[in-house]
Amino acid sequence: MKALVLHGIRDLRVEDREKPRPGPGQALVRVRAVGLCGSDVHYYTHGRIGDQVVREPMIVGHEAAGEVAGLGPGVEGLAVGDRVAIEPALSCGQCEWCTTGRPNLCPNVRFFSTPPNDGVMCEFVVVERHQCAPLPPEVSFEEAAMLEPLQVAVHATNLLGTVPGETVAVIGCGCIGLGCLALARVGGAGRIVVTDRLDYRLALARKLGADAVVNVEKEDPAEALARLTGGRGADLVLECTNRAAGPPQALAAAAIGGRVALVGIPQEDEVTIDPHQARRKELRVQFIRRSRFALRQALHLVASKRVDVASWVTHRFGLAEAKKAFDLVEHYADGVLKAVILP
């Protein structure tokens, strides 16, 4: 099979790899669509995220959907030809965190395209049966590939909740930010304010339900939030950027007694915040680690047309053109929001 392999910083190659075979309890999936995540680009440009370092060639990608091409012994509830979304995390099931219902915190988790684990930008992949979520006919492969970023937004909302009538601020409107916007709207938020530095993304946020948008390169976001909320701030703030500037903006945007979800993964290894501001407002600050039991929630939201993820996909590339996709996303060129690789 063909696979997209990262050998080092900016060194992506399409290679021939042996087609995998499913073992007991496993399914072989023909990959049909893979979303290009910011973390994939971070490995491409920096070779690492924190202490997770690419030390050997690694197949990239983790936002995937496809069709079942083969089954190992003992698999029930799936048939060859079934269309599925793929859960990218495989936790150990035995540790303290797995057995207490927090598998996203499993220290032994194997996550696609996180060193040293290969990802899914390839023609075939083997997964465990429980990593496959069958798709209804109304959900396309591209939409199914968007379920992974959406389920991060679902998990953040599950942890902090959206109370009907509240003011919600979303800091950064990439796909996860747009997912948080959608969940706030579904949850009955009274007003939703979205910030970003790219006007075309803010325009899409408006189209998808934001009541107000703020370009942080044209206006101070804290001052804008104060103006838009009568000086009060937001009850719930969801920080979804990939920059160290995001968390301080989120803390400043929160109302007294507010809740802040730090969802984004900053490119930088250190973030500077004003602890006194957060302490005086007695903010509840919650870091977000991927997602927990959220795939089927996300699938329901898309299948029921309550969340529009099809509009997130702006560009499509084959494996042979994938490096163009990485460069495009890195530089936010050509109005890109989500590029999808079609192996």
10-19, 62-71, 211-220, 263-272: which range is least confident on average? 263-272
Give the pLDDT confidence of 45-101 residue by residue, as tens digits.
999 998 899 999 999 999 999 999 999 999 999 999 999 999 999 999 999 999 999
Domains and CATH numbers, the chain: 2-146+309-341 (3.90.180.10), 153-287 (3.40.50.720)
Backbone angles phi, psi at 52, to 5 degrees: -95, 105
pLDDT of 261 reads 98
Tell me, what's the pLDDT at 263?
A: 97
CA atoms within 13 A on the CB side of 192: 29
% pLDDT > 70, the chain: 100
The proportion of the chain whose per-residue pLDDT surpasses 90, expressed as a percent, equals 97
pLDDT at 269: 87
- Residue showing tokens 């075979």: 21
Residue 258 has pLDDT above 90, yes or no: yes
**Whole-number Cα distances in Å, 170 to 77, 195, 237, 253, 331:** 39, 6, 6, 10, 22
Q: Where are the beta strands (DSSP E) in the chain?
A: 2-8, 11-16, 26-35, 48-49, 52-53, 58-59, 63-71, 83-86, 89-90, 110-111, 124-128, 132-134, 167-171, 191-196, 212-215, 234-239, 254-262, 284-287, 313-317, 338-341
